[in-house]
Amino acid sequence: MALKKPSKKLYYSLRQVSEMLDVPESTIKNWEKRFPKIQPVRNRAGNRQYTDKDVRLLLQLKSWIFDQKFAEDEIVERIHRFLKDESADQQIYLKQVLAEVKLEIKEILQLLRKS
């Protein structure tokens, strides 16, 4: 049986982003409250929809908080710079790709368990 890789998504759900980042959905919602620059679009039902750029920002934010342990005011400054800089750091791009691969593997495993 051949598996077809889904085409690149325009938007990711909160659940998908949570799985890619390996953090609870509540953590992402908390970040949105603490850092107002993080504003995913919402569909008609009010569900959050994250773009690739949103995911890259959240991956970077996770690193700033958990790995580099920056203070909140420093993070706000860095978010501002990140949003200005359209050419996101290559390392962040690679983290995003790995997160997407992780999500796809989880989805494949779920499909295999059902069959």
Residue 97: band (very low, low, confident or very high) from pLDDT cuts 50, 70, 90: confident
The CATH number of the domain covering residues in 14-114 = 1.10.1660
Cα separation of 61 and 76, whole Å? 10
Which of residues 87 and 16 earns the better pLDDT score?
A: 16
Residue percentage of the chain with pLDDT more than 70: 88
- Per-residue 3-state assignment (H helix, E strand, C coil) for 55-101: HHHHHHHHHHHHHCCCCHHHHHHHHHHHHHCCCCCHHHHHHHHHHHH
**Which tokens belong to 9?**
């998504």
Question: Domain-by-domain residue ranges, the chain?
Answer: 14-114
- Residue whose entry in the numeric block shows the structure tokens 């773009």: 51
Residue 86 in this model has a pLDDT that exceeds 70: no
Q: DSSP class of residue 22?
A: T
Tens digits of per-residue pLDDT, 56-74? Answer: 899 999 999 999 999 999 9
Which of residues 92 and 23 earns the better pLDDT score?
A: 23
User: Which amino acid belongs to residue 86?
Assistant: E
Cα separation of 33 and 30, whole Å? 5
